[in-house]
Amino acid sequence: MISNYDEYKEMELINGYIWCLPSFNTEITNNCLIYSDEFGLISVGGLEGYGFSDNIYNLSFSNNAYREQNKWKWKRMDTKLKNRRSLTSCIMIKTNNNYQLKEKIIIIGGHHYKTLSSIEMYDFDDNNYYNGKCEELSSLNTARRKCGVCYSNQFQRIYIGGGAGFGVTEQFEYYDLIKNQCYSFDIKTQYEYDNYPVLWINNNMLCIGSTNTQHIECMDLREDKMKAILSKNKKNKLLNLQKLLLPYNKSFVENEVYNNCRLLR
């Protein structure tokens, strides 16, 4: 596990196991799955049957059916997406609502006969979360599908990188939750990240990595524009190591890159 705290901590080993979950009532592919601490597993969009889907499904881990297991199943939400889409990317954020943290799903890009630039937000209803509200937000500057996303609570931004589409595999932008606007970065990555790359933030560094390219690149968010600092090849050697902008030493950076490469493999 990679720490998100300011100080570096050793990786913590977590034991896992395979758990057979209930099947969908219909065949669904190219959907996006995301987990909510409060509501369980959420499925968004995809190809359902013979067409593009605008459905949202939920598999709860807190109701009586889950405890009994035999009646445990996916349930379709009453609210539908504003736009049908497959190959979309989703991220769960928590906003402060009357001093209570409230979960919302941000749904980004995707495909519906063409690559999409639209962004939606699903807001869970406090009384009946199956009947939440879906609203359309400001669009991406560049349409993309299968992109990587991560959320910064500090900056109230959603960072979006790579994905498939015209000219996006090496390009970043971010969605500002306060201004409801997308902004593009001038800098491009050295390598292409076209198939759901992993994005994460550590100590003001925005990192992107992919098992397809076997590379990781980091950008400094404290500058007006992003600057590529380092990447890693298949032989685990640092490439193009420039003058570091980090407040810690080189060995720390190498450890971070090595540990993230292990996770991506």
pLDDT digits (tens, 9 = 90+) for 160-194: 999 988 878 888 899 999 999 999 988 888 888 98
Which H or E run contains 52? Answer: strand 51-52
Residue 86 burial by CB count (10 A; 0-12/13-18/19+): exposed, middle or buried? buried
Give the number of other Cβ atoms within 10 Å of residue 245's Cβ: 14
32: which 2 tokens? 């996006």
Give the chain's largest Cα–Cα span: 58
Amino acid (1-letter code) at residue 244: L
Q: Which residue has the higher pLDDT, 64 or 81?
A: 81
207: which 2 tokens? 């990192």
Q: Which residue has the higher pLDDT, 229 or 203?
A: 203
pTM score of the predicted model: 0.78
Residue 16: band (very low, low, confident or very high) from pLDDT cuts 50, 70, 90 = confident
Amino acid (1-letter code) at residue 174: Y
Judge whether residue 210 has pLDDT over 60: yes
What residues does 41 pair with on adjacent strands?
A: 35, 59
Residue 260: band (very low, low, confident or very high) from pLDDT cuts 50, 70, 90 = very low
Task: Judge contact between 132 and 72, C-beta under 8 A.
Answer: no
Residue 222 burial by CB count (10 A; 0-12/13-18/19+): exposed, middle or buried? exposed
Q: For the chain, first and last CA: distance in Å?
A: 14
What residues does 209 pair with on adjacent strands?
A: 198, 216
pLDDT, averaged across the chain? 80
- pLDDT confidence of residue 11: 60
CA distance 147 to 87: 9
- pLDDT confidence of residue 242: 34
Ordered domains of the chain (ranges, CATH):
138-264 (2.120.10.80)
Task: Judge contact between 4 and 205, C-beta under 8 A.
Answer: no
